[in-house]
Amino acid sequence: MAAPTPAPSAVKSGLEGVVAAQTKLSMVDGQNGVLIVAGYPIEEFAGRVSIEEAAMLLWTGRLPDKEEAPLLQKELAGYRALRPETLEIVKTARNAPPIDALRMACATLSLDVSNPNDISPAGDLALAKRLLSRFPTVIAAHSRLRQGLDPIAPRSDLSLAANFLYMTFGTEPDPMAAKALETYWVTVADHGMNASTFTARVIASTRSDMVSAVTGAVGALKGPLHGGAPGPVLDMLVDIKTADRAEAWLRKELGEGRRIMGFGHRVYKVRDPRAEVLAKTAEQMAGAHLQNAKLYELARAVEKTALRVLEDLKPGRNLKTNVEFYTALVLQSIGLQPDQFVAMFACGRAAGWCAHVMEQHAQDRLIRPASEYTGPMGLTLDR
């Protein structure tokens, strides 16, 4: 009997253009360079609200008012400490990359919840608060341990960002650095149906729990095509050294078939609006420190040259500045190492991941796409 003829292909490679869900959380307009987070343009939002407030907006649909905001910060601060079991995992992973340590630790962050499988709105919210509050503690503890230092217990009188800096460096946090980190976390809190968010929603769609879904999201973020490029931006700037070397360096890299880190985006065909926000933050940090100022001036010169060279060598590709370019400058300016950058991304994106898990649980619909079979058919066994 002849094998059946496959139906005409309707495959969208990489799910390009496929709408997989309806969401109230964020909207990405790549043609016009617009990012809306729960109703607010990112330029209106980042730098003016805390990550705690941004998270509650995503989780509940509204920002806390002036009376609620300090109570929220105090409540979330109460969740920052790690259980001994989690800290032991971080110790065991002290020599692993920070994003791997975070992935391992994330799976344990529901150990103090009586019913971690509760996917009701209340159950999801309880776990979301713990995840957002504890991610920075995990990364700070890992940073200390790999330097041979003891972790520092969290303080409850500081914001999430300021407390992270305190736990990492062991000194009173610089308010400007804390503000820069907070702005970064809010800027990356949610961004449409990206790979890690889609991963979280697929897991949640099976009625699996919040922590399982977010652990999967961390694994997806680790991939260099999603969250792994800010560090190489710094490598590029260090290698270029001076603005007058930029064009020759860029043309050589492109001529040898390599990507220019910090430029181009799967969705944005114009400059990433998050890059606009973080460029201003990097400029503010540069104004406070001579070393940061030199790197910032080099980055601005390299950006200008790169846009010109990319348009010359790859016309029509619309390879514009993306969020990673200025992320590298902001995180470097507050004293973090490049291999920590992806884990820091996760701290901000945790707010969005948790919100999407809540939304998917409420929709209660299994995500189960079809596939097109391309293998052999009609084989028989000769035995």
Compute CA distances 257 → 139, 171, 254, 306, whole Å.
Answer: 35, 44, 5, 15
What structural domains and CATH numbers belong to the chain? 26-61+70-225+339-363 (1.10.580.10), 230-333 (1.10.230.10)
219: three-class secondary structure by DSSP: helix
User: Does residue 13 carry a pLDDT above 80?
Assistant: no
Positions annotated as catalytic residues are 265, 324
41: three-class secondary structure by DSSP: strand
At 64, phi and psi to the nearest 5? -65, 145
Question: Averaged over 85-101, what is the pLDDT?
Answer: 97
Task: Give the up-direction half-sphere exposure of residue 244: CA atoms within 13 A in the CB hemisphere.
Answer: 0
| Separation of alpha carbons 187 and 165, rounded Å | 18
Q: End-to-end CA distance of the chain: give it in Å, rounded.
A: 20
Write down the pLDDT at residue 90. 98
| Separation of alpha carbons 92 and 130, rounded Å | 22
- State both tokens at 287: 């104004």
At 37, phi and psi to the nearest 5? -110, 110
- State both tokens at 250: 């860029």
As a whole-number percent, the residues of the chain with pLDDT over 70 amount to 97
Burial-class residue 118 by CB neighbours within 10 Å (0-12, 13-18, 19+).
Answer: middle
- State both tokens at 194: 């990206």
Q: What is the pLDDT of residues 68-86, one digit of tens each?
A: 999 999 999 999 999 999 9
Q: What is the pLDDT of residues 232-253, one digit of tens each?
A: 899 999 999 999 999 999 999 9
As a whole-number percent, the residues of the chain with pLDDT over 90 amount to 80
Name the average pLDDT for the chain: 92
Q: What is the pLDDT of residues 49-75, one digit of tens each?
A: 999 999 999 999 999 999 999 999 999
